[in-house]
Amino acid sequence: MRPRLFLSLLAYVLWLGAEHPVPAAEAFSYPRPGTPLSFPRDHGSHPDFKIEWWYVTGHLSPKGDARRRLGFQATFFRSAGEHPGAPNAEPSAILANQPIYLAHMAVVDSATGRFLFQERLNRSGWDAGSSVETLDVRNGNWTLRFADPNSSNRILLAGSVRSDALFTLALTPRKPLVRFGRDGISRKGADPLASSYYLTFPRLSAEGSMKIGGEEFAVQGDAWMDHEISSSQLTADQVGWDWAGIQLKDGREIMAYRMRLANGATDPYSTLAWVNAAGKPEHFGAEQFRWKPLRSWKSPATGAEYPNEVEITALDPATGKQTVLHLVPVALNQELTGGLGGVAYWEGACRVLDAEGKEIGSAYLELTGYAGKITVLQ
């Protein structure tokens, strides 16, 4: 495969570059307000949409050693081939009508600061695929699936980072599934097509085993799982986003994203949502919360500067008062450098502190667009 074509395909798979609108009704589907979803089918794959991803992060500790924190990320991406009804579609073209799959795995050890990651890119077939009937995604021997295809009561995750780390986890939802967005749609920009169906298990108990650096032990902790379904995520004037999934010790969660514009401003379609103890979300607009970078880290690999220590100020719906959430990374270097030719981004485990410095929770922080504007390579 020619390098230029390879890079273009990879950038598109990454969904980080999905800023082209759906051209016509005969092309890919896009999220529509008020659309009902059916489960377990909608936990599975949606081939009529251009891009889709299943994302799991979590904070684990070896059983018997709660002081040691092990963060993990497992992300499975699906990108459709050229839609058969799209203008100029050529069935004989490379990858035409054939989904391609990208996957990322990462582990960070707070005890050593060591960060490990790996990427895989495979065409749909014997080595990668996703079910259209239930949650069952695979890329090589990395898998994410329901233990029972007809039930969401237990999710099984198997991942690794080359020979450096290996983990198998059973994830049990501790709250009902949350559907983020207004009227069932998570908007990312002024263009109505810049949107997704955004499904989340905001808190899962995690239990299993991990092998890292020659050590092997049983682990337990909490995880977060997202599933987004879309055909276009960004508008032309957006350069990237900052996202956080926060789990508080009081049993609540917060999801927040700040879409960044080319002029440095925050897009008005940015959102923060609190999830209460019963699993009900409450959304707040961009003008109702503040995302303030505190410190940055410069990558020696890409030269990108990531504001990976941040302060989020938002109205707490439980108290009616403003609250401050201080996100501090457990290790500075948690950058996935896009070694397959994709776009580098920072995705890291963080501690969450209150205004007095007391630890009140944990989070995963995602920072994109700092290693160059997120765009499809032409």
Residues 111-137 pLDDT 10s? 999 999 999 999 998 899 999 999 999
pLDDT at site 23:
43
pLDDT at site 10:
39
Q: Which two tokens stand for residue 219?
A: 């682990």
pLDDT at site 66:
86
CA-CA distances (angstroms) from residue 91 to 80, 82, 169? 13, 8, 40
CA-CA distances (angstroms) from residue 165 to 70, 152, 155, 347? 11, 27, 20, 18
Burial category of 292 from C-beta neighbours within 10 Å (exposed 0-12, middle 13-18, buried 19 and up): exposed
CA-angle at 287, arms to 285 and 290, nearest 5°: 100
How does pLDDT run along the chain (378 residues), one tens digit per residue? 333 333 333 344 443 333 444 444 448 999 999 999 999 999 999 999 999 999 999 999 999 998 899 999 999 999 987 654 545 545 444 445 689 999 999 999 999 999 999 999 999 988 999 999 999 999 999 999 999 999 999 999 999 999 999 999 999 999 999 999 999 999 999 998 999 999 999 999 999 999 998 899 999 999 999 999 999 878 889 999 999 999 999 999 999 999 999 999 999 999 999 999 999 999 999 999 999 999 999 999 999 999 999 999 999 999 999 999 999 999 999 999 986 556 899 999 999 999 999 999 999 999 999 997 664 322
pLDDT at site 96:
52
Cis peptide before 40 (omega within 30 of 0): yes
pLDDT at site 374:
60
pLDDT at site 97:
66
Domain boundaries, the chain: 3-19+40-367
pLDDT at site 9:
38
Fold exhibited by the domain 3-19+40-367: AttH-like fold (2.40.370)
Sign of torsion, CA 7 9 15 17? positive
pLDDT at site 343:
81
Cβ neighbours of residue 88 under 8 Å, at least 6 residues apart? none
| Helices H / strands E in the chain, number of each | 1, 23
Burial category of 214 from C-beta neighbours within 10 Å (exposed 0-12, middle 13-18, buried 19 and up): exposed
Other C-beta atoms lying within 10 Å of the C-beta of residue 319: 8
Look at residues 79, 71, 99, 58 and name the one whose alpha carbon lies nearest to residue 16.
79
DSSP string, 315-377: EETTTTEEEEEEEEESSS--EE--TTSS--EEEEEEEEE-TTS-EEEEEEEEE-SSSS-----
Separation between Cα atoms, residue 361 and residue 282, nearest integer Å: 19
Q: How does 113-147 read in b/e, with b if 16+ C-beta sit within 10 Å?
A: eebbbbbbbbebeeebbbbeebbbbbbeebbbbbe
Separation between Cα atoms, residue 181 and residue 200, nearest integer Å: 11
Look at residues 240, 269, 244, 241 and name the one whose alpha carbon lies nearest to residue 255.
244
Look at residues 215, 118, 121 and name the one whose alpha carbon lies nearest to residue 162.
118
Terminal CA-CA length for the chain: 16
Q: Contact at 8 Å (CB) between 115 and 331? A: yes
